Amino acid sequence: MTYTAFDVIHGIASFGALAWMLYLVARSPGDVRRWAVAGLLAGWSVAYPFGIAASAGTDFLGVDAMTARYVQHGLLLVAAYSLVCFFQFSALEARLARGRAAREAVGLAVALAVVTAANLAIPADLRVPAATVTSTPGEGPVGVDSIAAFYIAANSYLLYAFAAACVWTRRYARGAEPRLRRGLRVASGGLAATPWPGRRSWCRTSAGGPAPRPRRRSSSRASSCCCSGSCCSWRGWPTRPWSPGWPRCGCGSGTAARIATSVHCGQY
């Protein structure tokens, strides 16, 4: 496994920022906000090399590629939790912030439990392909339940954490002085946009491959239907869709087909 110049610069900057924050924590150990920022930087800094190894499909520090991916995601979840805690302790009184942080910890524990169970359930012969899913869009064993659960649980919590941090940033901005308020609003915009640039879509099907393209027939009646009827009860969905204007088929129009297919879609 080789590292690029960007990887080296990223590592130096990340661990340098972490060292500086630990110095600030040592100067004021009672400041919970500094501890939260230190947890954020520690999680993101340490997770980065594990993510590189997982994407390359190689072992790292004695663990296989999928375990490296598990360590990376676990650290990122803790970092995201620390981010939410920072804004909560900045916007609320200490007593209220502690109560909310405790409730947030329950969500973190659930996400970590699901990710851990899913990682242990991944078959041995699929662990390397599962680890490299994020670097091979549209490929890999994305139809395996354990692999899907792993990435859905991790990324769902990350998406929630960024959304919560965005909300708390804007709430904190209301009572801040004008210059700080503008900065916090810019930060909230960045938090809202963070999950989207790296998004990748993948669809789960029973065969584990990409969802089939809708089939269209030449007849006028069949032209409004995307399927031959076999997928009308696909995955147990009812034959009548929830929109009264759609055909009886349940996935009859192109829009309905895309929605029915995307039900089993996730992000990683």
At residue 37, the pLDDT reads 94
pLDDT at 241: 38
pLDDT, one tens digit for every residue, the chain (268 residues): 677 888 889 889 999 999 999 999 999 999 999 999 999 999 999 999 999 999 888 999 999 999 999 999 999 999 999 999 998 888 788 899 899 999 999 999 999 999 999 999 999 999 999 888 877 666 667 778 899 899 999 999 999 988 888 887 777 677 666 666 666 666 666 666 665 544 444 333 333 444 444 444 444 443 333 443 333 333 333 433 333 443 334 343 343 333 333 333 443 3
Q: Report the distance separating Cα 84 and Cα 67, nearest Å.
A: 26
Name the amino acid, one letter, at 246: W
Predicted pLDDT at 138: 62
Which amino acid, one-letter code, is at 166? C
| d(C-alpha 90, C-alpha 168), whole Å | 9
* pLDDT at residue 208 in the model: 44
Q: What is the pTM of this model?
A: 0.68
Which pLDDT score, from 0 to 100, does residue 196 have? 53
- Structure confidence at residue 263 (pLDDT): 36
pLDDT at position 191 is 65
For helices 5-27 and 32-56, angle between their N-to-C axes, nearest 10 degrees: 160
Dist CA 146 CA 122 (whole Å)? 6
Q: Please count the other Cβ atoms lying within 10 Å of the Cβ belonging to residue 67.
A: 20
The radius of gyration of the chain's CA atoms, rounded to the nearest angstrom, is 22
